[in-house]
Amino acid sequence: MAPAPKPLQPAWDTEGLRQALAPRLPGLRVEWRATVDSTNTRLVEQARGQVGRRSADLAPCLLVAEAQTAGRGRMGRRWASTPGRSLTFSLSLPLAPVAWGGLSLVVGVALAEALDPPAAPGAAPRIGLKWPNDLWLLDAEAANGVGRKLGGVLVETVAVGPQRMVVVGIGLNIAAPAAEPGMAAPEHGLGTLGELEPGLGAPAALARVAPPLVGALQRFEREGWAPFAPAWAGRDLLAGRPLTLHGSSRAVQGDGAGVDTDGALLLRCAGDAIERIVSGEVSVRLAATA
Protein backbone atom coordinates (compact mmCIF):
# COMPACT_ATOMS: atom_id res chain seq x y z
CA MET A 1 0.00 0.00 0.00
CA ALA A 2 1.34 3.46 -0.87
CA PRO A 3 2.30 5.53 2.20
CA ALA A 4 -0.24 8.19 3.17
CA PRO A 5 0.78 11.64 1.91
CA LYS A 6 2.39 13.76 4.62
CA PRO A 7 0.03 16.48 5.88
CA LEU A 8 1.24 19.85 4.67
CA GLN A 9 -0.51 22.07 7.22
CA PRO A 10 2.18 22.07 9.97
CA ALA A 11 4.35 24.20 7.69
CA TRP A 12 1.75 26.96 7.90
CA ASP A 13 1.83 28.84 11.20
CA THR A 14 -1.74 30.11 10.97
CA GLU A 15 -1.89 31.03 14.67
CA GLY A 16 1.42 32.95 14.50
CA LEU A 17 0.12 34.83 11.48
CA ARG A 18 -3.17 35.60 13.21
CA GLN A 19 -1.28 37.00 16.21
CA ALA A 20 0.96 39.10 13.96
CA LEU A 21 -2.02 40.61 12.15
CA ALA A 22 -4.56 40.84 15.00
CA PRO A 23 -3.40 44.24 16.33
CA ARG A 24 -4.30 45.74 12.93
CA LEU A 25 -7.25 43.45 12.23
CA PRO A 26 -9.10 42.59 15.43
CA GLY A 27 -11.30 39.51 15.06
CA LEU A 28 -9.25 38.16 12.13
CA ARG A 29 -9.57 34.46 11.31
CA VAL A 30 -6.67 32.74 9.55
CA GLU A 31 -7.58 29.46 7.87
CA TRP A 32 -5.67 26.85 5.86
CA ARG A 33 -7.22 24.35 3.43
CA ALA A 34 -5.55 21.58 1.47
CA THR A 35 -7.92 22.19 -1.46
CA VAL A 36 -10.67 24.69 -2.24
CA ASP A 37 -12.33 25.72 -5.47
CA SER A 38 -10.98 29.28 -5.19
CA THR A 39 -9.92 31.19 -2.09
CA ASN A 40 -11.50 34.32 -3.57
CA THR A 41 -14.80 32.55 -4.25
CA ARG A 42 -14.85 31.20 -0.68
CA LEU A 43 -14.31 34.64 0.88
CA VAL A 44 -16.73 36.41 -1.47
CA GLU A 45 -19.44 33.89 -0.57
CA GLN A 46 -18.58 34.14 3.13
CA ALA A 47 -18.89 37.92 3.01
CA ARG A 48 -22.26 37.64 1.24
CA GLY A 49 -23.47 35.13 3.82
CA GLN A 50 -23.84 32.34 1.28
CA VAL A 51 -22.02 29.79 3.46
CA GLY A 52 -24.44 27.48 5.27
CA ARG A 53 -27.06 29.52 7.14
CA ARG A 54 -24.70 32.26 8.22
CA SER A 55 -25.58 35.87 7.69
CA ALA A 56 -23.31 38.25 5.79
CA ASP A 57 -19.94 38.33 7.50
CA LEU A 58 -17.84 41.48 7.95
CA ALA A 59 -15.13 39.81 10.05
CA PRO A 60 -11.72 39.86 8.34
CA CYS A 61 -10.43 36.51 7.13
CA LEU A 62 -7.23 35.21 5.55
CA LEU A 63 -7.65 31.93 3.70
CA VAL A 64 -4.61 30.11 2.33
CA ALA A 65 -4.93 26.98 0.21
CA GLU A 66 -2.43 24.43 -0.97
CA ALA A 67 -4.41 23.86 -4.16
CA GLN A 68 -7.42 25.35 -5.97
CA THR A 69 -9.68 23.39 -8.29
CA ALA A 70 -11.21 26.50 -9.89
CA GLY A 71 -8.65 29.25 -9.32
CA ARG A 72 -9.66 32.48 -11.02
CA GLY A 73 -7.47 35.08 -12.71
CA ARG A 74 -8.36 38.50 -14.05
CA MET A 75 -10.74 38.89 -16.97
CA GLY A 76 -12.29 35.46 -16.54
CA ARG A 77 -9.04 33.54 -16.98
CA ARG A 78 -8.13 30.40 -15.02
CA TRP A 79 -5.38 30.52 -12.43
CA ALA A 80 -3.39 27.33 -11.97
CA SER A 81 -1.30 26.69 -8.86
CA THR A 82 0.79 23.68 -7.84
CA PRO A 83 0.88 22.41 -4.22
CA GLY A 84 4.24 23.20 -2.66
CA ARG A 85 5.24 25.38 -5.60
CA SER A 86 2.75 28.24 -5.29
CA LEU A 87 1.45 30.65 -2.68
CA THR A 88 -2.31 30.93 -3.05
CA PHE A 89 -4.31 33.03 -0.60
CA SER A 90 -7.04 35.62 -0.20
CA LEU A 91 -7.64 38.26 2.43
CA SER A 92 -11.03 39.82 3.08
CA LEU A 93 -11.63 42.88 5.22
CA PRO A 94 -14.10 45.75 5.41
CA LEU A 95 -12.75 48.88 3.73
CA ALA A 96 -14.20 52.36 3.29
CA PRO A 97 -11.81 54.52 1.24
CA VAL A 98 -12.94 57.90 -0.09
CA ALA A 99 -12.21 56.62 -3.63
CA TRP A 100 -11.47 53.08 -4.84
CA GLY A 101 -9.23 53.96 -7.81
CA GLY A 102 -5.73 52.52 -7.46
CA LEU A 103 -6.63 49.81 -4.94
CA SER A 104 -5.35 46.90 -6.99
CA LEU A 105 -2.14 48.80 -7.78
CA VAL A 106 -1.59 49.35 -4.05
CA VAL A 107 -1.67 45.58 -3.54
CA GLY A 108 1.04 45.13 -6.18
CA VAL A 109 3.20 47.82 -4.59
CA ALA A 110 2.85 46.26 -1.12
CA LEU A 111 3.81 42.79 -2.39
CA ALA A 112 6.73 44.03 -4.49
CA GLU A 113 8.18 46.08 -1.64
CA ALA A 114 7.79 43.22 0.85
CA LEU A 115 9.52 40.69 -1.41
CA ASP A 116 12.04 43.04 -3.01
CA PRO A 117 12.65 45.95 -0.61
CA PRO A 118 13.65 49.20 -2.31
CA ALA A 119 17.38 48.98 -3.06
CA ALA A 120 19.87 51.86 -2.96
CA PRO A 121 18.75 54.94 -4.96
CA GLY A 122 19.25 54.33 -8.66
CA ALA A 123 19.52 50.53 -8.31
CA ALA A 124 17.13 48.60 -10.54
CA PRO A 125 14.34 46.68 -8.75
CA ARG A 126 14.11 42.89 -9.27
CA ILE A 127 10.30 42.93 -9.15
CA GLY A 128 8.45 45.10 -11.64
CA LEU A 129 4.73 45.90 -11.78
CA LYS A 130 2.69 45.48 -14.93
CA TRP A 131 -0.56 47.45 -14.81
CA PRO A 132 -2.94 46.83 -13.25
CA ASN A 133 -1.53 44.30 -10.80
CA ASP A 134 0.89 41.71 -12.17
CA LEU A 135 4.22 41.13 -10.49
CA TRP A 136 7.06 40.32 -12.88
CA LEU A 137 10.54 39.09 -12.08
CA LEU A 138 13.03 41.26 -13.91
CA ASP A 139 16.23 39.77 -15.19
CA ALA A 140 18.76 40.61 -17.81
CA GLU A 141 18.43 37.24 -19.55
CA ALA A 142 14.73 37.63 -20.34
CA ALA A 143 14.35 37.34 -24.08
CA ASN A 144 11.86 40.20 -24.27
CA GLY A 145 13.86 42.47 -21.94
CA VAL A 146 10.98 42.86 -19.49
CA GLY A 147 11.02 39.68 -17.44
CA ARG A 148 8.61 36.90 -16.55
CA LYS A 149 5.33 36.84 -14.63
CA LEU A 150 5.88 36.08 -10.94
CA GLY A 151 2.36 36.51 -9.64
CA GLY A 152 -1.04 38.08 -10.01
CA VAL A 153 -3.70 39.79 -7.95
CA LEU A 154 -7.48 39.53 -8.21
CA VAL A 155 -9.38 42.20 -6.24
CA GLU A 156 -13.13 41.88 -5.76
CA THR A 157 -15.54 43.86 -3.59
CA VAL A 158 -18.80 42.80 -1.99
CA ALA A 159 -21.50 45.13 -0.66
CA VAL A 160 -22.59 44.05 2.82
CA GLY A 161 -25.46 46.34 3.79
CA PRO A 162 -24.09 49.87 3.73
CA GLN A 163 -20.51 48.59 4.01
CA ARG A 164 -18.12 47.02 1.51
CA MET A 165 -15.81 44.07 1.95
CA VAL A 166 -12.73 43.83 -0.22
CA VAL A 167 -11.39 40.39 -1.16
CA VAL A 168 -7.78 40.49 -2.29
CA GLY A 169 -6.62 37.25 -3.92
CA ILE A 170 -2.93 36.66 -4.51
CA GLY A 171 -1.14 33.95 -6.44
CA LEU A 172 2.67 33.82 -6.44
CA ASN A 173 4.98 31.31 -8.11
CA ILE A 174 7.37 29.91 -5.54
CA ALA A 175 9.05 27.28 -7.72
CA ALA A 176 8.65 26.29 -11.36
CA PRO A 177 5.61 24.05 -11.90
CA ALA A 178 6.19 20.59 -13.34
CA ALA A 179 5.53 20.66 -17.08
CA GLU A 180 2.03 19.40 -17.84
CA PRO A 181 1.54 17.62 -21.14
CA GLY A 182 -0.65 19.67 -23.44
CA MET A 183 -0.33 22.82 -21.27
CA ALA A 184 1.10 25.73 -23.27
CA ALA A 185 3.94 27.69 -21.62
CA PRO A 186 2.95 31.29 -20.81
CA GLU A 187 3.84 33.79 -23.52
CA HIS A 188 6.74 35.43 -21.65
CA GLY A 189 7.57 32.48 -19.34
CA LEU A 190 7.19 32.27 -15.56
CA GLY A 191 9.38 33.79 -12.87
CA THR A 192 9.61 32.28 -9.39
CA LEU A 193 10.36 33.63 -5.94
CA GLY A 194 12.94 30.86 -5.59
CA GLU A 195 15.05 32.66 -8.21
CA LEU A 196 14.92 35.86 -6.18
CA GLU A 197 15.39 34.28 -2.79
CA PRO A 198 16.35 30.58 -2.85
CA GLY A 199 14.80 28.64 0.03
CA LEU A 200 11.89 31.01 0.61
CA GLY A 201 8.89 28.68 0.81
CA ALA A 202 5.23 29.57 0.52
CA PRO A 203 4.56 29.77 4.32
CA ALA A 204 7.53 32.12 4.85
CA ALA A 205 6.50 34.21 1.83
CA LEU A 206 2.99 34.55 3.29
CA ALA A 207 4.37 35.61 6.68
CA ARG A 208 6.53 38.17 4.84
CA VAL A 209 3.82 39.74 2.67
CA ALA A 210 0.69 39.62 4.84
CA PRO A 211 1.53 42.32 7.45
CA PRO A 212 2.66 44.96 4.89
CA LEU A 213 -0.33 44.08 2.72
CA VAL A 214 -2.75 44.79 5.57
CA GLY A 215 -0.82 47.98 6.40
CA ALA A 216 -0.98 49.16 2.78
CA LEU A 217 -4.74 48.47 2.49
CA GLN A 218 -5.42 50.41 5.67
CA ARG A 219 -3.17 53.28 4.54
CA PHE A 220 -5.04 53.33 1.22
CA GLU A 221 -8.30 53.59 3.16
CA ARG A 222 -6.99 56.65 5.05
CA GLU A 223 -4.85 58.38 2.43
CA GLY A 224 -5.88 57.02 -0.98
CA TRP A 225 -3.62 56.11 -3.90
CA ALA A 226 -1.33 59.18 -3.91
CA PRO A 227 1.27 58.02 -1.32
CA PHE A 228 1.85 54.81 -3.33
CA ALA A 229 2.30 56.47 -6.72
CA PRO A 230 6.10 57.09 -6.46
CA ALA A 231 6.77 53.44 -5.54
CA TRP A 232 4.60 52.32 -8.47
CA ALA A 233 6.47 54.62 -10.85
CA GLY A 234 9.80 53.13 -9.72
CA ARG A 235 8.61 49.63 -10.74
CA ASP A 236 6.31 50.49 -13.67
CA LEU A 237 7.08 47.90 -16.32
CA LEU A 238 5.03 49.58 -19.02
CA ALA A 239 6.30 53.16 -18.81
CA GLY A 240 7.81 54.23 -22.13
CA ARG A 241 7.17 50.85 -23.79
CA PRO A 242 5.17 50.25 -26.96
CA LEU A 243 1.91 48.55 -25.93
CA THR A 244 -1.18 47.09 -27.46
CA LEU A 245 -4.31 47.14 -25.34
CA HIS A 246 -7.01 44.64 -26.21
CA GLY A 247 -10.40 45.93 -25.15
CA SER A 248 -13.77 44.28 -25.66
CA SER A 249 -14.42 46.07 -28.93
CA ARG A 250 -11.10 47.48 -30.14
CA ALA A 251 -7.33 47.36 -29.75
CA VAL A 252 -5.39 50.54 -28.91
CA GLN A 253 -1.70 51.07 -29.54
CA GLY A 254 0.61 53.55 -27.90
CA ASP A 255 3.45 54.00 -25.44
CA GLY A 256 2.92 53.49 -21.71
CA ALA A 257 2.86 56.90 -19.98
CA GLY A 258 2.42 55.96 -16.33
CA VAL A 259 -0.80 56.04 -14.33
CA ASP A 260 -2.98 58.95 -13.26
CA THR A 261 -4.26 60.08 -9.87
CA ASP A 262 -6.98 57.38 -9.99
CA GLY A 263 -4.61 54.56 -10.92
CA ALA A 264 -5.82 54.48 -14.55
CA LEU A 265 -3.21 53.53 -17.17
CA LEU A 266 -2.13 56.35 -19.48
CA LEU A 267 -1.23 55.58 -23.06
CA ARG A 268 0.45 58.08 -25.39
CA CYS A 269 -1.09 57.43 -28.81
CA ALA A 270 -0.57 58.84 -32.30
CA GLY A 271 -0.36 62.64 -32.33
CA ASP A 272 0.61 62.62 -28.63
CA ALA A 273 -3.02 62.10 -27.60
CA ILE A 274 -3.31 60.52 -24.17
CA GLU A 275 -5.79 57.64 -23.75
CA ARG A 276 -6.89 56.85 -20.22
CA ILE A 277 -7.51 53.14 -19.57
CA VAL A 278 -9.55 52.22 -16.53
CA SER A 279 -8.64 49.16 -14.49
CA GLY A 280 -10.36 45.98 -15.65
CA GLU A 281 -11.38 47.45 -19.00
CA VAL A 282 -8.64 45.91 -21.09
CA SER A 283 -5.77 43.48 -21.06
CA VAL A 284 -2.30 44.69 -21.84
CA ARG A 285 0.13 42.99 -24.18
CA LEU A 286 3.66 44.06 -24.69
CA ALA A 287 4.31 44.66 -28.38
CA ALA A 288 6.68 42.10 -29.89
CA THR A 289 10.26 43.29 -29.59
CA ALA A 290 12.61 43.32 -32.55
CB of 107 to ligand BTN, least distance (A): 10
Does residue 18 carry a catalytic annotation? no
Between strands 283-286 and 274-277, the pairing is: unpaired
Give the binding-site size for ligand BTN (rule: CB under 6 A).
20
Q: Exactly one of 77, 246, 276, 285 binds ligand BTN (CB under 6 A); which one?
A: 77
Tell me the C-alpha distance between 57 and 51, whole Å.
Answer: 10
User: Which of 71, 43, 67, 46 lies closest to 57 in space, CA to CA?
Assistant: 46
Burial category of 244 from C-beta neighbours within 10 Å (exposed 0-12, middle 13-18, buried 19 and up): middle
CB of 290 to ligand BTN, least distance (A): 27
Chain residue at closest Cβ approach to ligand BTN:
152
Contacts of 50 (CB under 8 A, 6+ apart): none
Tell me the C-alpha distance between 231 and 194, whole Å.
Answer: 23
Nearer to ligand BTN, 38 or 46 (CB): 38
- Site mask for ligand BTN (CB under 6 A), range 30-69, x = bound: --------xxx---------------------------x-
Q: Does 173 bind ligand BTN (CB under 6 A)?
A: no
What are the DSSP calls for 166-192, one per residue?
EEEEEEEE-SPPPP-TTPPPPTT-B--
DSSP-assigned beta bridge partners for residue 32: 64
Q: State the catalytic residue, choosing from 29, 33, 85, 149.
A: 149
Q: Does 74 bind ligand BTN (CB under 6 A)?
A: yes
Q: Is the peptide bond before 132 cis (omega within 30 degrees of 0)?
A: yes
Q: Does 90 bind ligand BTN (CB under 6 A)?
A: yes
Q: Does 282 bind ligand BTN (CB under 6 A)?
A: no
Does residue 285 carry a catalytic annotation? yes
Tell me the C-alpha distance between 63 and 54, whole Å.
Answer: 18
Contact window for ligand BTN (CB under 6 A) among 105-113, 155-163, 169-177, 183-191: 169-177
Q: In what order do the strands lie in the sheet with 265-268?
A: 274-277, 265-268, 251-259, 242-246, 283-286
Q: Exactly one of 60, 102, 108, 169 binds ligand BTN (CB under 6 A); which one?
A: 169
Q: Exactly one of 102, 108, 147, 171 binds ligand BTN (CB under 6 A); which one?
A: 171
Helix (H, G, I), strand (E, B) or coil at 65: strand
DSSP-assigned beta bridge partners for residue 172: 87, 151
Q: Does 147 bind ligand BTN (CB under 6 A)?
A: no
Q: Does 116 bind ligand BTN (CB under 6 A)?
A: no
Residues 174-233 interacting with ligand BTN (rule: CB under 6 A): none
Q: State the catalytic residue, choosing from 72, 74, 126, 148.
A: 74
CB of 90 to ligand BTN, least distance (A): 5
Binding stretches for ligand BTN (CB under 6 A): 38-40, 68, 71-74, 77, 79, 88-90, 134, 152-154, 169-171
What residues are labeled active site?
Answer: 74, 149, 285
